[in-house]
Amino acid sequence: MTRSRSEPETLSMGTPVTAPAADAEPAHSWWIRRRIGLSGRVFLLTVALVGLCEVLIYVPTVANYRVMWLSDRIAAARVAALVVDVSPRSGVSNDLTERLLRGVGARAVIVSGSDARKVIAREPLPDSVSRVVDLGANSWGHSIAGTWSTLFLPASTPIRVVGKPQEGFDPVEVILDEAPLRRAMVAFCLQLLGTSLIIAAVVAGLVFFVLQRVIVRPVRLLVSNITAFADDPEETARVIVPSGRNDELGDAETALARMETALAGELRAKRHLADLGLSVSKINHEMRNLLTTAQLLGDRLEGVTDPVVQRVAPRLVATLGRAIRFCEETLAYGRATERHPQQRTVPLAPLLADQADLSGCAPDSPVVIQERCTADLTVHADPEQLSRALANLVRNAVQAMADEKSNDAPRIILEASRTGDTVMILVSDNGPGLPARARAHLFAPFKGSTRPGGTGLGLAIAAELIGLNGGTITLDQSETGVRFRITLPAEKRA
């Protein structure tokens, strides 16, 4: 039914709604105290930023949906008002009123004209409403607050919605229940939440992937290089090679390369100059070996019948003997500085063949030295340093078997072969082998000696010389005697 009133109604407003203050969460959680890597922090930061963006988009979107839903009700109310205006003077029937209100979705529609106020309603208007929503003066703050109230503090009584003024239409208001609005908003929130989660997952994944590639992965490479360099800071091959990036990470790589290069040089120099005593020990060790070889060669002069040689030979042998004893007595803790290897590709067979003369074997020594190496086999190393390393291994084997009287056929085998880009040299003997105490510190100075008077420097020197040439030396398991395995590059590495 339709009624006209000359004076507007006075409708009471509900009390303002205030959201309860949320309790502050404790700042210390168990997972925060744990160490989270850069990758995990990037992931958490990405999720947090994407979540913040979703909240900043999600809340206004839901608030806008509420305003649009109410605006649709106002638009339907305007149509209903036009139907009432064109109706016959006898008024609008109850059936038409019911249909109009059902189409609007409201309890009542109020049209404020210039001379009168029209109300379309099935029942008397309520004396008060829970809240008033003025779409014409609805700011973002009021809209978000109203959205919160609708979702979490639903009204128990109808609400009044005042439409935004529109040219050509009288002001329109509707009285409606908030329950349909809340149901529509909940459904929209769930649908928007699902869509937002999918978008957030895709965006977070893309952002995380980009950050991994652009930041985390280069930082991991820097950390990996620093860790590897820290394991052996004197190895120049571990110095980072800058990638050429033109950003801060590229600058960090360049600075790190300069620092590692300088540090490697400084550490190598400090290592060689750290203790002069070890330098003296090594010099004496090498001089003793050279003098021993010279003494053996001098012994051969005793068989020469030349008078001059007969007169000089005993003095030469005695002098060499005194020099050898002096070297043995003055061996002290120290290390000599090895020069940088002058590596080149050289045939390996001549180096192995020379070991028979450099090993210190006496002419009547029963030790047999055999070489097994093809003439075309080459190795990329400093020939002098490689020869010295091999001489130390062979000389140790000769001395060990010379002290072992039970071996009737002492034999040393130098065997070389190539596998891919690596040359392997095996130095094996059938001597007494190594005791367990010597294996524990085999390549450590002064700790690997197994015979009285030995300094334990021979294997340490050999390991250092092989390492300088980019190779490795290890002790192989063997049933009898001792077998050392040396690996060196066959050709110059890029």
Which range scores top for mean pLDDT: 18-27, 139-148, 205-214, 429-438? Answer: 139-148
pLDDT at 27 over 60: no
Residue 12's pLDDT band, with cuts at 50, 70 and 90, is very low
What does the pLDDT average to over 479-485?
Answer: 87
User: Between these two residues, 145 and 302, which has the higher pLDDT value?
Assistant: 145
Instruction: Summarize pLDDT for 354-376 with one digit per residue, the tens.
Output: 887 776 666 667 888 889 999 99
Separation in Å, CA 346 to CA 72, 182, 477, 492: 92, 88, 29, 11
- The encoded tokens of residue 388 equal 């010295």
Instruction: Summarize pLDDT for 90-137 with one digit per residue, the tens.
Output: 566 778 778 888 888 888 888 887 677 788 887 888 888 888 999 888
Q: What percent of the chain has pLDDT over 90?
A: 16
What does the pLDDT average to over 221-228?
Answer: 85
pLDDT at 479: 77
Separation in Å, CA 293 to CA 37, 163, 296, 320, 411: 60, 114, 5, 10, 20
Amino acid at 84: V
All residues at 6 or more sequence positions from 334 whose CB lies less than 8 Å from its CB, including other chains: 275, 276, 277, 278, 279, 280, 281, 282
pLDDT at 478: 80
Residue 55's pLDDT band, with cuts at 50, 70 and 90, is confident
Cα gap 265→98, rounded to integer Å: 95
Instruction: Summarize pLDDT for 373-408 with one digit per residue, the tens.
Output: 999 999 999 988 898 899 888 888 888 887 666 666
Listed residue (461, 450, 391, 402) closest to 425, CA to CA:
391
pLDDT at 139: 83
All residues at 6 or more sequence positions from 18 whose CB lies less than 8 Å from its CB, including other chains: none
Please, what is the average pLDDT of the chain? 77
Amino acid at 348: L
C-beta separation of 176 from 159 below 8 A? yes
pLDDT at 401: 80
Cα gap 350→412, rounded to integer Å: 16
pLDDT at 30: 44
Listed residue (382, 379, 384, 388) closest to 347, CA to CA:
379
User: Between these two residues, 21 and 270, which has the higher pLDDT value?
Assistant: 270
Residue 10's pLDDT band, with cuts at 50, 70 and 90, is very low
Residue 6's pLDDT band, with cuts at 50, 70 and 90, is very low
Phi, psi of 378 (to 5 degrees): -120, 160
Range scoring the smallest mean pLDDT among 50-54, 255-259, 292-296, 466-470: 292-296
Instruction: Summarize pLDDT for 56-85 with one digit per residue, the tens.
Output: 888 899 999 999 999 999 888 888 888 877
Phi, psi of 160 (to 5 degrees): -110, 130
Cα gap 249→261, rounded to integer Å: 18
Residue 190's pLDDT band, with cuts at 50, 70 and 90, is very high
Using H for helix, E for strand and C for coil, what is the string for the chain? CEEEECCCCCCECCCCCCCCCCCCCCCCCHHHHCCCCHHHHHHHHHHHHHHHHHHHHHHHHHHHHHHHHHHHHHHHHHHHHHHHHCCCCCCCCHHHHHHHHHHHCCCEEEEECCCCEEEEECCCCCCECCCEEEHHHCCHHHHHHHHHHHHHCCCCCCEEEECCCCCCCCCEEEEECCHHHHHHHHHHHHHHHHHHHHHHHHHHHHHHHHHHHHHHHHHHHHHHHHHHHHHCCCCHHHCCCCCCCCCHHHHHHHHHHHHHHHHHHHHHHHHHHCCHHHHHHHHHHHHHHHHHHHHHHHHHHHHCCCHHHHHHHHHHHHHHHHHHHHHHHCCCCECCCCCCCCCEEEECHHHHHCHHHHCCCCCCCCCEEEEECCCCCEEEECHHHHHHHHHHHHHHHHHHHHHCCCCCCCEEEEEEEEECCEEEEEEEECCCCCCHHHHHCCCCCCCCCCCCCCCCCHHHHHHHHHHHCCCEEEEECCCCCCEEEEEEECCCCC
Instruction: Summarize pLDDT for 264-286 with one digit per residue, the tens.
Output: 877 777 776 666 556 666 666 66
pLDDT at 425: 94
For tokens 């400090």, the residue is 270
Cα gap 148→129, rounded to integer Å: 18
Burial class (CB in 10 A: 0-12, 13-18, 19+), 123: exposed
Separation in Å, CA 356 to CA 33, 353, 412, 425, 431: 66, 6, 10, 16, 17
Cα gap 138→75, rounded to integer Å: 17
Q: What percent of the chain has pLDDT over 70?
A: 72
Separation in Å, CA 85 to CA 89, 120, 428: 9, 11, 116
pLDDT at 89 over 70: no
All residues at 6 or more sequence positions from 336 whose CB lies less than 8 Å from its CB, including other chains: 272, 278, 279, 282, 283, 286
Listed residue (434, 454, 371, 367) closest to 407, CA to CA:
367
Cα gap 369→366, rounded to integer Å: 10
Instruction: Summarize pLDDT for 132-170 with one digit per residue, the tens.
Output: 999 888 788 888 888 888 898 888 889 999 988 877 778
